[in-house]
Amino acid sequence: MCAPRQVGQPRWRRIARRCALFVLLAALGVACSLLVESGPSSPNFSFSDGNPAHGIVLLPGPVDGYYPGIPGYPDSNWRVDQWHKTELLYPGQWTAVASPMRWVWTSGPKGLSVLRVLPQSDGSLIFDIFGQDGPRSKAGGTNLYLSAETKTTFGAEPLTMNRPVRYYVTGNIPGSHYKLTTSDPSLTSAVRWTAYSSLVFTYVGPSTGYPCQSQGPCAIFLQIWHGRFDGNAHRPGYINTGDLSLLNYAYLLPSDPAFVPAAQPYVFDANAYLCDAVTHMASVLPPDATNLAKWNIVAISVGIETSNHWQGKAAGGTAWVELEVSKIDVIKDSAHSWTSAACPTTPPS
């Protein structure tokens, strides 16, 4: 079993011990986390302003320049990303609330974004993410989500999808709201909410000359929908936003359930999702893109998207959603290998 991130030790010592452990576990051929920090195990995130005009910029905080400084926890490897948000959450603007104990960040003045972190008796943390309304463009609505990059090394084992990889999350959607205030379809089409997880994959082979390599390495930004305003989470969709270097794919496999109001653990087959995506996108990918050994998983995120008006237009209604998640992890089973890494994958041997 992978060791949890320990609180109170110098960061260099924690990293050194974990790296040595990962090398040993990979050599022994066992399943282990691809995340530096699973859980997440600390509420001391960095916070970003994900403005499309300038990309991700970290917001200033009271500790180490970027972090909230909640006592008893180290700086987290996770980040709170805010995309297209007109109101932002800032690292140092948190309050501690009792009964039940929780730390709360609220955007102002309308409170369109709220993040609550609730410590549990087993040492885990529950992350309650709330978002409401906001502008929408062809690139999407307003987003509030937790994100983390995967490890850069995994002992002697490559970070490719050549072996079974599973995404684990305990989650639920306690509440949501969707209401139209006009019958004008040019306005109501912007009113929506989505709860999702994202897996980001990069192609590791030569891709020069293929459409996906228009502006950089081929990458797939794949969303797993946990719930939507229209109740349809099983809608596959290849969304071309004009930049083929980042291919967008969003859906939920029919074999996987959408989140419900009560919290429960979910396991998603990352290999199956990647296979489905590269199969649908074959026309813009290199010929060997269906070989999972040609792909790395480089980042994950989980959160929500809301909107109620197109940029520069009147509101067509209102939409909000609340998502709770905990015990997030990405596990690679180095004890098993595919009979073939080509899509569709055959059962591991």
pLDDT digits (tens, 9 = 90+) for 155-167: 666 678 888 999 9
Is 342 within a domain? no
pLDDT over 90 at 239, yes or no: no
CA 46 – CA 67 distance, rounded (Å): 5
Q: pLDDT class for 349, splitting at 50, 70, 90?
A: very low
Three-class SS of residue 344?
coil
Q: What is the largest CA-CA distance in the chain?
A: 62
Is 349 within a domain? no
CA gyration radius for the chain? 20
Provide the strand spans (E) within 185-231: 192-203, 219-228
CA 42 – CA 117 distance, rounded (Å): 9
More confident: 194 or 16 = 194
Cα–Cα nearest to 7, from 62, 66, 75, 104 = 75
Cis peptide before 40 (omega within 30 of 0): yes
pLDDT over 80 at 311, yes or no: yes
| Sequence-ordered list of residues with C-beta below 8 angstroms from that of 120, at least 6 positions apart, any chain | 126, 326
How far the first Cα of the chain sits from its last, in Å, is 21
CA 325 – CA 268 distance, rounded (Å): 14
**Best mean pLDDT range from 146-155, 300-309, 340-349:** 300-309
Say if residues 188 and 75 touch (Cβ distance below 8 Å).
no
What number is the average pLDDT over the span 175-199? 97
CA 334 – CA 2 distance, rounded (Å): 13
More confident: 247 or 174 = 174
Three-class SS of residue 279?
helix
Let me know how long the chain is: 349
Q: pLDDT class for 10, splitting at 50, 70, 90?
A: very low
Is 139 within a domain? yes
CA 92 – CA 132 distance, rounded (Å): 22
CA 239 – CA 71 distance, rounded (Å): 42
Kindly give the residue spans of alpha helices, DSSP state H, lying in the chain.
11-28, 185-188, 270-280
More confident: 89 or 246 = 89
CA 241 – CA 219 distance, rounded (Å): 13
Is 117 within a domain? yes
pLDDT of residue 317: 98
Is 4 within a domain? no
Instruction: Give the CATH number, domain containing residue 42.
Output: 2.60.120
* CA-CA-CA-CA torsion sign (147, 273, 35, 246): negative
Three-class SS of residue 280?
helix
Is 1 within a domain? no
Mean pLDDT of the chain: 84
| Sequence-ordered list of residues with C-beta below 8 angstroms from that of 300, at least 6 positions apart, any chain | 35, 147, 148, 150, 167, 197, 198, 199, 200, 328, 330
What number is the average pLDDT over the span 174-197? 97
Is 339 within a domain? no
Q: Which residue segment(s) compose the domain that 56 sits in?
A: 11-333
Note the pLDDT tens digit of each residue in 49-93.
Answer: 877 566 678 999 998 899 999 999 999 999 999 999 989 999 999
pLDDT of residue 306: 98
Cis peptide before 211 (omega within 30 of 0): no
CA 70 – CA 33 distance, rounded (Å): 25
- Number of structural domains, the chain? 1
Percentage of the chain beyond pLDDT 90 is 58
Cis peptide before 52 (omega within 30 of 0): no
| Sequence-ordered list of residues with C-beta below 8 angstroms from that of 178, at least 6 positions apart, any chain | 191, 192, 193, 229, 317, 318, 319
Is 348 within a domain? no
CA 31 – CA 249 distance, rounded (Å): 27
Relative to beta strand 317-333, strand 165-180 is: antiparallel
